[in-house]
Structure 1
């Protein structure tokens, strides 16, 4: 009985400590997503697009309603056009929230200046689904009014 009680106490300590540490998957996903935003801020659209599956699902007000499938080439085109309109386009991460084994949620502020010198600052939230080391879904939410 004494050994059983000791075993249960030991198991409880291990379980409590394990739940307090972020999972390896969460750490890997966070590093992956931080690299994604580094490519974004460098305007390296090719490297950023290669972080997606060949065709990924997007929810983005700029693409219309519902889920839109986009290839890597379409992603490069979209962001190339965006950076032409806003040459100093930059995203600043405010929070990252791991959400299970396949998802990570990112809050960030997007900023830029148009050729007419007007500026914008837009809070955005994106839910990424990461499968087999690539982004398969990019669900982005912001106020586009």
Structure 2
């Protein structure tokens, strides 16, 4: 009888472990789909729809904001990208690699390209760490070289 209880307990434990792994894999897959949709909306310049992928007042870390973390509303996000898009009308991001990291974080390596008003083109390698909770982006920590070339 004791052996049967141990066997049943072991089977329940294994089922729980497998279930947790499947749950984490499902969350990861959904997060990766969200990020795929993120870059699709970005490249279509659909800033309002893109902002809906975030929680209200998400945390941002971006060299354009200076050092530290800045909370931005969805409206502020839309305003920032609308203004950026006016300066660079052909702004596009090309994803190089996606690196899932646990069940909440996804790291994306991509190259942003566009043409400035003076017709000069740019190509900027960027990495972003997205934190996703309950299907929404809560943190967007972006890293790139923000230094201008010496002239």
Confirm or deny a common fold (TM above 0.5). Answer: yes
1:109 aligned to which of 108, 111, 119? 111
Q: Which residue of 2 aligns with 1:54?
A: 56
Aligned pairs for 1:47-86 (under 5 A) are 47-86=49-88
Q: Gapped runs of 5+ residues in structure 1?
A: none
Q: Which residue of 2 aligns with 1:100?
A: 102
User: How many Å separate the matches in 2 of 1:131 and 1:26?
Assistant: 11
User: How many Å separate the matches in 2 of 1:68 and 1:54?
Assistant: 13
Q: Which residue of 1 aligns with 2:4?
A: none
Q: Which residue of 2 aligns with 1:35?
A: 37
Runs of 4+ residues over 6 Å off in structure 1? none
Which stretch shows the higher mean deviation, 79-88 or 24-33?
24-33
Spell out, residue by residue over 1:113-133, the C-alpha distance to the aligned partner (whole angstroms, 9 max, x if none). 012100100000000000111
User: How many Å separate the matches in 2 of 1:124 and 1:87?
Assistant: 19
Residue correspondences, number:
133
Structure 2 residue matching 1:117: 3-state secondary structure: coil
TM-score normalised to the size of structure 1?
0.85
Q: Which residue of 1 aligns with 2:3?
A: none
